[in-house]
Amino acid sequence: MILLTIRGHDVARATVARWIAAEDPPHALLLSGPPNVGKTTLAEDLAAGLLCLAPDPVDRPCRGCLACRKVARGSHADVHRLVPEGAGGQIRIAAARALNTELSLLPVEGRRRIAIVESAQRLNEDAQNALLKTLEEPPLGVTIILCADDEEPILPTVRSRCVRLPMPALPPRAIAAFLADRGVDDPARAARIARLVSGRAGLALAIAAQPELEVALGRVARRLLDLTRADRRARLSAAPELMADGLLLAGFGTSGAVGVPERDTAQLPPSGGATDEIEPEDATPRRPLPSPAQRRRSVTGLLAVWRGLARDLAVAGRGGRAQVRWIDLLDELDRVARSLEAGEIERFLARLERVSALVETNANPELALDVLLLAWPRSRVATDVAPAARADVDVRAASRRIAG
């Protein structure tokens, strides 16, 4: 009996099972869907099935043989991985060329060689072009699996050479059932997490396994809602605290892997968040985080949470209480939504998407955070409405600095 670990995604699951049973996978596969939705899990299922030692293909992956156990541990010699690296979080041409070399060799211990490219949207253009020859003329017995959060950055020449298998977000009921299968025996908690994660099973599993992540999520959401009533000084001074939680949450929106978000053992300094490029006149000077990679992961994780909260505010403002994901914050979301001018949240979401794209292309993450803190809608009941126009000037100036 085939034992695939992926849950939900019935079409993708059935397709992969059929490829394994027929021993006829595509030479190149593009799995696309939101972060943490299960793309890497499905890729590992396919790898295990193609390398499994069970005599009958219909019984693969068996999960008990040596090959299956090695794939599960990430130690199989014929499974190769590419992941983003460095401060910019990219997959560069040198890594792509090294993968081409590995794939040109005969398998070491299995029947095939398999490459799993995580966060394939982070392949830079040179790296994608380097992979093209292998995609066009793949060696016999090679399967390349690209796991992408977004297909748009993938070159058309690369997409056209792949079998494309979409993996959309799962409905909350499916996520809750998945959590129940994984030992979450509190139905109310499972339902709450299921609504919070926007259909991403990996994120749900991470939150269920580590309650401190759920606490950090709530802390960030409440802090951001409080900042709708804060002046510009308070907003900018909140950056260090937000970035500290952002580093904890960094794996939520940035990785295609299903599992626990990336953790970092380095300690954040007691202050940080502003940048060398721009120092607001009334902000306290702040030291940068220990490394550029940490800073980028921190802000990226924070923006993923911020995006979901802002969307909930927009939904609450239109009276869609039943669709709000932050159930515990429903009353506060209603209150803040009523205090904002029409269209403010929608304009902020558009700005957040633009700034997020700039962070993805190596803009200064701390400056990006400051821009968004100043642009975050201001409640009409805030105590310092007068500086709003001045803050808007700061937002426009800082945005120009980010863009180049």
CATH code of 105's domain: 3.40.50.300
Q: What is the count of structural domains for the chain?
A: 2
- H or E element, residue 128: helix 125-136
pLDDT-based confidence at 267, cuts 50/70/90? very low
pLDDT-based confidence at 139, cuts 50/70/90? very high
Say yes or no: 18 and 73 in one domain.
yes
Neighbours of 174 (CB within 10 A): 17
Report whether pLDDT(260) > 60. no
- The answer to whether position 378 is within a domain reads yes
- The answer to whether position 174 is within a domain reads no
- The answer to whether position 358 is within a domain reads yes
pTM: 0.75
Chain centroid to CA 302: how far? 11
Phi and psi dihedrals of 116, rounded to 5? Answer: -115, 115
Report whether 379 contacts 339 (CB < 8 A).
yes
Say yes or no: 242 and 383 in one domain.
yes
- Provide mean pLDDT across the span 11-16: 95
- The answer to whether position 37 is within a domain reads yes
Buried b (16+ CB within 10 A) or exposed e, 127-136: bbebbeebbe
Report whether pLDDT(395) > 80. no
For residue 377, say if its preceding peptide bond is cis, omega within 30 degrees of 0: no
**Cα(308)–Cα(169) distance, rounded to whole angstroms?**
14
Domain end among 166, 196, 228? 166
pLDDT at 2: 64
Say yes or no: 239 and 375 in one domain.
yes
Length of the chain (residues): 404
C-alpha neighbours within 13 Å on the C-beta side of residue 190:
16
- Lowest-confidence pick of 119-123, 337-341, 381-385: 381-385
Say yes or no: 162 and 221 in one domain.
no
- The answer to whether position 320 is within a domain reads yes
pLDDT tens, position by position, 295-325: 888 898 899 899 999 999 999 988 888 888 8
- Provide mean pLDDT across the span 373-397: 62
Report whether pLDDT(283) > 50. no
Report whether pLDDT(65) > 60. yes
- Provide mean pLDDT across the span 359-387: 80
pLDDT-based confidence at 11, cuts 50/70/90? very high
pLDDT tens, position by position, 342-351: 899 999 999 9
Catalogue the long-range contacts made by 267-272 (C-beta closer than 8 Å, 24 or more residues apart).
Answer: 268/240, 268/243, 268/244, 269/240, 270/240, 271/240, 272/239, 272/240, 272/243, 272/366
pLDDT at 279: 36
Identify the CA nearest to 274 among candidates 292, 294, 288.
Answer: 288
Domain end among 140, 166, 192? 166
pLDDT-based confidence at 248, cuts 50/70/90? confident
pLDDT tens, position by position, 216-242: 999 999 999 999 999 999 999 999 999
Domain limits for position 106: 10-166
Say yes or no: 234 and 308 in one domain.
yes
